[in-house]
Amino acid sequence: MLIIRAPEGRRRLTCWAAATVLAITACGGAAAAPQQRGQGESVIVVVDHAKVVRLPEKAQTVIVGNPAIADVSVQRNGVMIVTGKSFGVTNLIALDANGALLAESLVRVSAASDEVLTVQRGMQRESYACNPNCQPSVQIGDAQDYFAGVAGQTTARNGLATTATRN
């Protein structure tokens, strides 16, 4: 469980948008009854992508049920950034300064299947990002050797770029 506290002294947060992660029905500051788990709107995030979501008024604490699936970063301007880390479903809970539940919602993290080509060779899987040309791209579920090879090359390349900018 990951708990993130909003910056202290924040007096006003913006109202919820209808499709936000934590559903609040009115923008006048009155919070709706908390959503039952599995009901209401869910936030759908793609792995390795982020989505901007408005916090409910008076939210001081945001809890992520499983930070291995999604992560949040609370900003000073009344929004949070939800980042998809792994496939699955988890929940987000918003609490006020007294610990009262303001809202709860589901976060669904899925694959970016539109631009990913999957090559299956028996039990071995490889993924390629095709936008417009296909290039190796590691995805959760790829064969270990393929994943390690592509990840190693990416890390080495990023290291070279970092070293070049320092010199």
Reported confidence tier of residue 164, pLDDT bands at 50, 70, 90: low
When pLDDT is averaged across residues 78-82 and rounded to a whole number, the result is: 92
131 and 93 within one domain = no
Residues 88 and 124 in one domain: no
How is residue 10 written in tokens? 């924040």
For range 156-160, the mean pLDDT: 90
Residues 31 and 90 in one domain: yes
- 133-143 pLDDT per residue, tens: 899 988 889 99
> What is the SS3 assignment for 72?
strand
What's the whole-number mean pLDDT along residues 145-167? 86
Do 135 and 95 fall within a single domain? Answer: no
Judgement on whether residues 74 and 130 belong to the same structural domain of the protein: no
Predicted pLDDT of residue 73 = 93
Would you place residue 167 in the very low, low, confident or very high pLDDT band (cuts 50, 70, 90)?
A: low
What percentage of the chain exceeds 70 in pLDDT?
74
pLDDT digits (tens, 9 = 90+) for 8-65: 333 222 222 222 333 322 223 333 333 343 344 789 999 889 999 998 888 999 999 9
State which of 110, 136, 158 marks the end of a domain.
110
Q: Are residues 53 and 122 in the same domain?
A: no
126 and 93 share a domain? no
Computed over every residue of the chain, the mean pLDDT equals 77
Rounded Cα distance, 147 and 84, in Å: 19
Domain holding 129, by residue range, is 116-166
Q: Strands, DSSP E only, in the chain?
A: 2-5, 43-46, 50-54, 61-64, 70-74, 79-84, 88-95, 101-110, 116-121, 124-130, 134-136
pLDDT reported for residue 63: 95
37 plus 101 within the same structural domain: yes
